[in-house]
């Protein structure tokens, strides 16, 4: 699943919160498997990720940032960590969700790109989810239940089969809160 655009007020400024993640079909169909660092690059096309996030603040956990290895250009990079001594060049380091949103005040829209703990914290505040379903049996490290269809509805889906450039087929879905 991909997570949601949410409208939320912080200091009288409306922010749309977007959650962006890669989800992989798990062995049990009722469970989605979020693969934070081991998913093949072709399973989450970077062009789409770049299009969704360019020019917008991105909020991520420390482990997600470290798996990327550097700040992503063209975006304010906000890293959330409990470690009060954590510092890295090119990123804004904060220690809670409200501080992360505060760092993005004035942007109007933010993108939450991981990890799973941040997705859980931001999901209730989100209004839209951009979800990429990867069609393949790939080992994952985080369990995540599907979006509750009594609260969310899928408004768009694009299917892309596996091909010579992509080992796995994918479906890009847009989910909106009811």
Q: What is the pLDDT of residues 57-114, one digit of tens each?
A: 999 999 989 988 999 999 999 999 999 999 999 999 999 999 999 998 888 888 888 8
- Determine the CATH number of domain 3-177: 3.40.430.10
Q: Which of 20-34, 110-124, 156-170 has the lowest mean pLDDT?
A: 20-34
Task: Map 78-103 to HEC letters.
Answer: EEECCCCCCCCCCCEEECCHHHHHHH
Q: CA 6, CA 108: separation in Å to the nearest integer?
A: 11
Residue 30 has pLDDT above 70, yes or no: no
Residue 38 has pLDDT above 90, yes or no: no
State residue 69's pLDDT score: 93
160: tokens are: 């892309």
Q: Which of 35-44, 45-54, 96-105 has the lowest mean pLDDT?
A: 35-44
Residue 162 has pLDDT above 90, yes or no: no
> How does DSSP classify residue 48?
H
Question: Quick one: which of 71, 79, 129 has its CA closest to 104?
Answer: 79
State residue 9's pLDDT score: 33
Q: pLDDT > 70: what percent of the chain?
A: 70
Q: Which of 31-40, 68-77, 130-139, 154-163 has the lowest mean pLDDT?
A: 31-40
């Amino acid at each position: 699943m991909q997570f949601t655009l949410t409208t939320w007020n912080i200091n009288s400024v409306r922010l749309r919160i977007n959650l962006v993640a890669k989800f992989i079909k798990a062995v049990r169909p009722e469970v989605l498997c979020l693969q934070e660092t081991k998913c093949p690059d072709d399973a989450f096309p970077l062009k789409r990720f770049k299009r969704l996030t360019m020019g917008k603040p991105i909020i991520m956990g420390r482990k997600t940032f470290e798996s990327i290895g550097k700040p992503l250009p063209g975006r304010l990079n906000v890293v959330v960590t409990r470690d009060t001594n954590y510092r890295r060049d090119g990123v804004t380091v904060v220690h809670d969700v409200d501080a992360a949103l505060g760092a993005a005040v004035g942007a109007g829209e933010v993108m939450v790109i991981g990890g799973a703990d941040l997705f859980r914290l931001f999901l209730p505040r989100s209004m839209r989810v951009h979800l990429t379903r990867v069609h393949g049996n790939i080992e994952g490290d985080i369990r995540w239940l599907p979006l509750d269809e009594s609260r969310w509805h899928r408004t768009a889906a694009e299917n892309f089969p596996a091909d010579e450039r992509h080992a796995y087929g994918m479906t890009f879905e847009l989910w909106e809160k009811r």
